[in-house]
Structure 1
Amino acid sequence: MKIKRSKGEIVFSGFNYFILAFIMLICLYPVVYVAVASVSDSNLLTQHSGILLKPLGFSLDSYKKVFQNPMILKGYANTLFILIIGIFLDILMTSIGAYFLSRKGVLLKKPVMLLIIFTMFFSGGMIPFYLTLKDLHMTNTLWGLIIPFMVNTYNLIILRTSFESIPDSLVEAAEMDGAGHIRILFSIILPLSKAILAVMVLYYGVGIWNGWFWASTIIRKRELYPLQVILREILMQNDVGSMTAGVSAADQESVGMTIKYATIVVATVPILCIYPFLQKYFTKGVLIGAVKE
């Protein structure tokens, strides 16, 4: 049955669509600009001003120069190592913690939960954290970017709430059949929580992929730099000398500009390609794991 809407509702909906479309364009244009500029001719791009919606002379030279930089490939390898191992350990440890906090009758459950929530508002500070990592010999290692960040408090609370929504009868039936906590977690709880786990993978994955601050703080060996630290060097410090070898001094600035855009695309495309596969679980997972009283 078609619902007849009043003129006020139609005007209000039209206004909302206009505002949302405008916001979408504002968010989308920088992405389009960077993608188009990365495949444009460097000389034409330097001379251009104003809105850019199509390539100015198609050229892939900037991408060739980006992949000729050995630090880009090394940064990719380091980031993939942190991403794959990090997501596995993050999901594992967060799931174990969420399972513990979601079970009824657990000893000292409320005090432990209060201590966990306390860490969302207060911490020891950056310097004590760094000194702790140094004393544990975790500086200048990729493990220093994985182990200390295995459990995010916000993600833990979301996952705990999702586990609490699973009927207790399933857990009780498994216990009557002799299943232990490990078997219950991996054979019952996690298979029934695929949507929220997909959201956790997305949250942790995006955080790891975009993370640069602690990597630039605790790692001094360039061969251990993740991709985002290398990207930051190229963009913030204008470090494109290794990729403009053989380019005349007059063209280095224009070529360097397209190289920066190409580097941004190279560093962004992988996470953009993964997102659509997890998007179908996103809304369902967030709603299931929504924090509630």
Structure 2
Amino acid sequence: MPATTKPRGLRDGRSRRVFLVVNAVLLILLSAVVIYPFVNIVAQAFSSEGYITTGQVNVVPRGFNLTTFHVVLGDPMFWLNYRNTVVYTTVATLIALTLTTTYAYALSKPRLKGRTFFVGIAVLTMFFNGGLIPNYVLISHLHMRNSIWAIVIPNAISVFNLLVMKSFFENLPSELEEAASIDGVSTYGMFFRIVLPLSKAVIATMVLFYAVAFWNSWFTAYLYMDDPQRYPVTVYLRNLIAGASQVEGAGDAITQVAANVQAVTMLLTILPIVCLYPFIQRYFVSGVMLGAVKQ
């Protein structure tokens, strides 16, 4: 070996340090790019109209202003619609989680007759759907307009979530269920007493996926609901943005609302999800990886 050749371990150690430094720098830059829009929205929510329209607000509020918060939070309809969103999201998430877990558990069993057919039916809906007008006609004929079921039923199962959970169930050790079967545990007993307790990570991930989707959804309610008292808060905020954008020269208070109403509405909408995420974040990565990678 030539005298100038460096030991392999030294080269590998130096390469690893270079990789770690480059990786850390890239992750920091990526995090800054992701976090900046959120910080900017918060800054605009507490800034005055003049500073926002002239582009002087970046990460620190300028001309501290709470007018928009007073307008939005002082409206009883806001709190009514906010309560509707909490109810819709809770009920829809519970129903979606129940249907997804049971359907995925059944599909994960190779002995299920017609398993390929049922998987194909689910996957088919990822590429084709009935279309907006047929769905509207169907919801109307089922008398679900202006009700929670117009939001819950059409979106009860996400095929992506179904396939992730199916893969997770397939990766569970079959010996556990075989031992439980020998002990006389029924199929439902195995599902509730063995499978679900071992699936906390993927279930927490599915709760996050479904809750975020239902919480942020507005078009379904906007399409199927005519009663403002049944609107979710996203529709209320959407109407507030649309109304504020059409008001010009109506006084300082209205002008300030029109300038930063979008920032305030976005902040109020995402706040509950931001508060929920830290409690289930530790399950998130493991839940997705266990469900998406077949071991």
Structure 1 match to 2:109: 103
Q: Is the 8 A contact 1:140 1:219 kept in 2?
A: yes
Whether 1:35 and 2:42 are equivalent positions in the alignment is yes
Structure 1 match to 2:187: 181
Matches within 5 A, 1:231-246: 231-238=237-244
- Alpha-carbon distance, 1:10 to partner: 5.6
Structure 1 match to 2:28: 21
Question: Which stretch of the first structure deviates more once superposed, 133-142 or 15-24?
Answer: 15-24
Structure 2 match to 1:53: 59
Matches within 5 A, 1:1-293: 14-40=21-47, 42=48, 45-46=51-52, 48-238=54-244, 249-290=251-292, 292=294
- Alpha-carbon distance, 1:56 to partner: 2.2
Q: Deviations over 1:151-203 (max 9, x none)?
A: 11111111111111111121122222322222211111111000000000011
Seen in structure 2, the aligned counterparts of structure 1 residues 204 and 75 have a Cα distance that, compared at 3 Å, is: same
Question: Which stretch of the first structure deviates more once superposed, 85-94 or 164-173?
Answer: 164-173
Q: Is the 8 A contact 1:211 1:228 kept in 2?
A: yes
Using the alignment, how far apart are the partners of 2:123 and 2:233 within structure 1? 32
Partner amino acid for 2:91?
A: I
Q: Is the 8 A contact 1:216 1:229 kept in 2?
A: yes
Partner amino acid for 1:106?
A: L
Structure 1 portions without partners, runs of 5+: 242-246
Partner amino acid for 2:32?
A: L
Residue correspondences, number: 287
Task: Provide the TM-score with structure 1 as the length reference.
Answer: 0.87
Aligned residue for 2:215, secondary structure, equals: helix
- Alpha-carbon distance, 1:25 to partner: 2.4
Aligned residue for 2:292, secondary structure, equals: coil
Aligned residue for 1:140, secondary structure, equals: coil
Partner amino acid for 2:259?
A: M
Aligned residue for 1:289, secondary structure, equals: helix
Task: Provide the TM-score with structure 2 as the length reference.
Answer: 0.87
Q: Is the 8 A contact 1:234 1:240 kept in 2?
A: no
Q: Is the 8 A contact 2:216 2:269 kept in 1?
A: no
Using the alignment, how far apart are the partners of 2:191 and 2:15 within structure 1? 52
Using the alignment, how far apart are the partners of 1:86 and 1:203 within structure 2? 12
Structure 2 portions without partners, runs of 5+: 1-8
Partner amino acid for 2:281?
A: Q
| Superposed CA RMSD | 2.6
Seen in structure 2, the aligned counterparts of structure 1 residues 124 and 198 have a Cα distance that, compared at 3 Å, is: same
Using the alignment, how far apart are the partners of 1:272 and 1:292 within structure 2? 30
Q: Deviations over 1:203-249 (max 9, x none)?
A: 101100111111111111111111111121222442798xxxxx962
Partner amino acid for 1:113?
A: V
